[in-house]
Structure 1
Amino acid sequence: MAKQIVSIISVLLFSFMIFSEVKGAKKSYGIYDTNTAKKLFVFGDSYVDSGNFLHSESYKPPNGMTFPGSPAGRFCDGRIITDYIASYLKIESPTPYALRNSSNMQYGINFAYGGTGIFNTSIDGPNMTVQIDSLEKLIQQNIYTKIDLQSSIALVNAGGNDYTNALKTGRFLDLPAFMESLVKQMSVNLNRIHSLGINKVAVGSLIPIGCLPTLNAISFRTNCIGLFNLVSQDHNKKLLEAIQKLNNQTGKSVFITLDLYNSFLSTIETMQKKRAENSTLMNPLQPCCDAKNLGDSCGTVNAKGEKQYSLCENPKVSFFWDNVHPSQNGWSAVYTMLQPSLAQLT
C-alpha cells in the first residue's frame, strides 16, 4: 500500500511539473487561451494607425526616432494614442491588419489606415466601412469567436480626412449637409461594430482642426484658427447626439466618447502659458518635423536623397510632430486627460 501511495504521489508531482512547464511556456511565448483575453480592434485614420500604410513616410526616418528608435509605421516620433490605450488595457498594441500573416493576433487587430476617412478620402486606403468588412471576414473565418468579441473593445477615430477632402472637392460649400451625412454614416458604422459582438466602443471626437500647423500657419503659428475650430465643435455636437441615440437604442452605455477636442485644446493652451513664462520652450503650434515645401511631408527626400524637412532640437518637448499629427509627447498629454473616460472601458 505504501508503495502504491508513493507511486501515486510521484505521478501527481510529475503531472504538476509538466503542467507548470507548459503553463510557463505559454506565458513565455505569448500562447494562452485567446477566448479569455481582452482584445482591441481599431478603426479609422492615421491618428490610430500603427502600421497599415506600408509604403508611406510612416516607415521612413525620422518617424519612430523617440520610440522604438526607428520607423515603425506610425505618423509620429514614437507612441500614438492606440499604444497608450492598449497599455491602459494591459495588452500589447494590436497587430496592424497589413501584417496579420506574420504577427500574433491575440491582442486584436488594427484596421486603421493613414489618409482614410468615414467616406472615400484615399485612392488606395480602405474607408471605415471596408475596415469593418475586414473584421467581419476574420469572424467568418473563425479567427475571432463570439466570446473574443464580447470581452473586446473597439477604438474608432475618423472624420478629419473627410473634411480635408471636402475642401478639395467642393463638398465643403454645403457644409451642413455634408456634416449631417458624415455623422449619419459614422453612426451606421458604430452600430455595425456593436452588432458584430463588441460591447464597448470608444469614439474619438474631432480635434480642433484650426490648431493644426497646416492651418495655423496663416496666423504665423501664434494661435488656433477659430473659424475652423467651429467646424469641429459643430461636428462634435452632432456626433455626441448620435452616440447618445445609439446608447438609448441599446439600453446601455456601449459607446463612449473620447474628448480629443478639449484634450488637444487644453494641452496646447497649457503649453502656451508655460512658454509665455519661459520663451525657450517650444511653441506647441509649431511642428517638430516641418516640411520645407508644399506637398512634402516628414520623411520626404528628393532624388538626391536630400531631406525635404527640418527637425526640431528635441521632439520630447513638442506637441505636434508634423503638420497634422501630434508627437509622442503630445499624445502622452492627451492620453493623461482622457484617462477618466477610459475607466468606462473596464
Structure 2
Amino acid sequence: MKPNAMSWKPPYGITFPGKPSGRYSDGLIATDFLGSEVFDSPVDRSPNISTQVGFLVNLALARRVYTIDGDLASSYALLSYSGSDYYGFIDQNPNMAAYPAFVEFIVEDIHCNESYSDLVRLHNEGLKKVVAKLNKEDKFRTKGDRFVIVDLHKAFMAVLEKKGSKRFKTPLKPCCEGDCARMDMKGAKKYTLCNDPKSAFFWDEINPTQEVWRSIYSLLGKSLTESLTNG
C-alpha cells in the first residue's frame, strides 16, 4: 500500500515531518492533535505502524486486545468516518434520495459543497441516536457516557466562518493545486504549491492542512478534553 498511496509521495508531509509519512496533509492531522493537545501524548511517542498492525492482528485472531478491567479502564478508542469514506458514494450517487439508506447502513454498522453538507447532517443525526443507544445499553458503564461524539463538522464550519483563532485568506483554494503528488510521463509535476501552507485551509482538494487541524482542536479545547475524560 505504501508505494501506491499518494500520501507516501511528495509533497505530502512537507511541514511535518519534512517528508511523506502517510498523512493526507502537509503535516499533522486530526489524530495527532487529539493525542498531543487533548491527552498530552506527543506524536513521537505514539505506537509505530508495526505495533498498530500487531494490535489489529490480535484483535482479528483472538477477538480481544485489551482487558475490560485493566487496560480499557484508562484507554480511549477513536472511530472515525470522514469525507473520504463518502466521496466515492457521492460520486456515483449524486441524487439525494440515495443518501439516507447509505448513512443508516454506515452508522448502524459501527466537504464544502451542498451534497457533502447534506450528507454530514444526515450522518450526524443518525450517529447521535446510535451513540445514545450505546450509552444506555452499555453494561460496563459506571458513570457518565463511555461513547462521546466529537463534532468536527461543527468545528470546521466555525473555522470556515472565521470564528476560530486563525484567519485563512482563501479558505476554498487548496495549497496543492492540480493532481497533487503525481508526475507526468516526463517526470514533471502535475501540481503547483502555494508559498505558505499555514495560510491555506485545504491542503489538496479534500484534506485540510496541518494549520486547520491545529485551529480545529484549539477551538474544541477544554470542552472536548472534559467530555472525553469525565466519562
Same fold (TM over 0.5): yes
1:277-323: CA deviation from partner (whole Å, max 9, x where unpaired): xxxx63011111112xxxx3x21112221111110110011111111
- Residues of 1 paired with 2:2 and 2:129: CA distance? 32
User: Across the two proteins, how many residue pairs are aligned to each other?
Assistant: 218
Is 1:148 the equivalent of 2:71? yes
* CA 1:262–1:332: 2 relative to 1, 3 Å: same
Specify every segment of 5 or more residues in structure 1 that has no aligned partner in the other structure, as ranges. Answer: 1-51, 112-130, 187-208, 212-224, 276-280
Contact 2:100-2:122 at 8 Å conserved across structures? no
Give the deviation of 1:141 after TM superposition: 9.4
TM alignment of 1:84-99, pairs within 5 A? 84-87=33-36, 88-93=38-43, 94-95=46-47, 99=49
Paired residue for 2:150? 258
Structure 2 CA distance for aligned equivalents of residues 263 and 241 of structure 1: 20
Cα deviation digits, residues 163-217 of structure 1 (max 9, x gap): 222234449652222221221112xxxxxxxxxxxxxxxxxxxxxx2x1xxxxxx
SS at match of 1:308: strand
Is the CA contact (8 Å cut-off) linking 1:287 and 1:319 kept in structure 2?
A: yes
Q: Which residue does the alignment assign to 2:6? A: 57
Q: Which has the higher contact order (CA 8 A, sep 6+)?
A: 2
- Picking from 100, 104, 129, the partner of 1:180 is 104
Q: Cα gap change, 1:53/1:331 in structure 2, threshold over 3 Å: closer, same or farther?
A: farther
Q: Which residue of 2 aligns with 1:68?
A: 17
In structure 1, distance between residues paired with 2:220 and 2:210: 15
**What is the letter of the counterpart of residue 176 of structure 2?**
C
* Alpha-carbon contact 1:271-1:283 (below 8 Å) kept: no
The residue type paired with residue 337 of structure 1 is: L
Once residues 159 and 316 of structure 1 are traced to their aligned partners in structure 2, the CA distance between those partners, rounded to angstroms, is 22
- Equivalent position to 1:341, from 198, 205, 224: 224
Q: TM-score, normalised by structure 2?
A: 0.81
Q: Output the CA distance in 2 between the equivalents of 1:271 and 1:321.
A: 20
Q: Please, which of 121, 126, 142 is the counterpart of residue 233 of structure 1?
A: 121
Task: Name the structure 2 match of 1:308.
Answer: 190
Question: In structure 2, the residue corresponding to 1:290 is in which secondary structure?
Answer: strand
Equivalent position SS for 1:181: helix
1:331 aligns with 2:213: yes
Aligned residues: percent identity?
34
Q: What is the deviation of 1:144?
A: 4.9
**Closer, same or farther: CA 262–185 of 1 in aligned 2, 3 Å:** same
What is the CA–CA distance in structure 2 between the aligned matches of 1:54 and 1:143, rounded to whole Å? 29
* 1:243 aligned partner: 131
Distance 2:58 2:207 in 1: 26
1:54–1:73 contact (8 Å) kept in structure 2: no
Gaps of 5+ in 2: none
CA distance in 1, matches of 2:5, 2:47: 18
Larger Cα Rg: Structure 1 or Structure 2?
A: 1
Contact 1:287–1:322 under 8 Å retained in 2: yes
1:157 aligns with 2:107: no
* Residue number in structure 2 paired with 1:136: 59
| 2:104 aligned counterpart, secondary structure | helix
Cα distance change of structure 1 residues 315 and 324 upon mapping to structure 2, 3 Å threshold: same
1:155 aligned counterpart, secondary structure: coil
Q: Report SS of the residue matched to 2:109.
A: helix
Instruction: State the alpha-carbon separation in 1 of the partners of residues 114 and 199 from structure 2.
Output: 25
Match of 1:79 among 11, 16, 28: 28
| Alpha-carbon offset, residue 132 of structure 1 | 9.1
Equivalent residue letter for 1:253: D
Query: What SS does structure 1 have at the residue aligned with 2:78?
Result: strand
Cα distance in 1 between the residues matched to 2:55 and 2:124:
22
CA 1:233–1:330 in structure 2 vs 1: closer, same or farther (change >3 Å)? same
Aligned-CA RMSD value: 2.9
Q: CA deviation at 1:133?
A: 5.8
Instruction: Give TM-score, length-normalised by structure 1.
Output: 0.56
Matches of 2:171 and 2:94 in 1, distance apart? 31
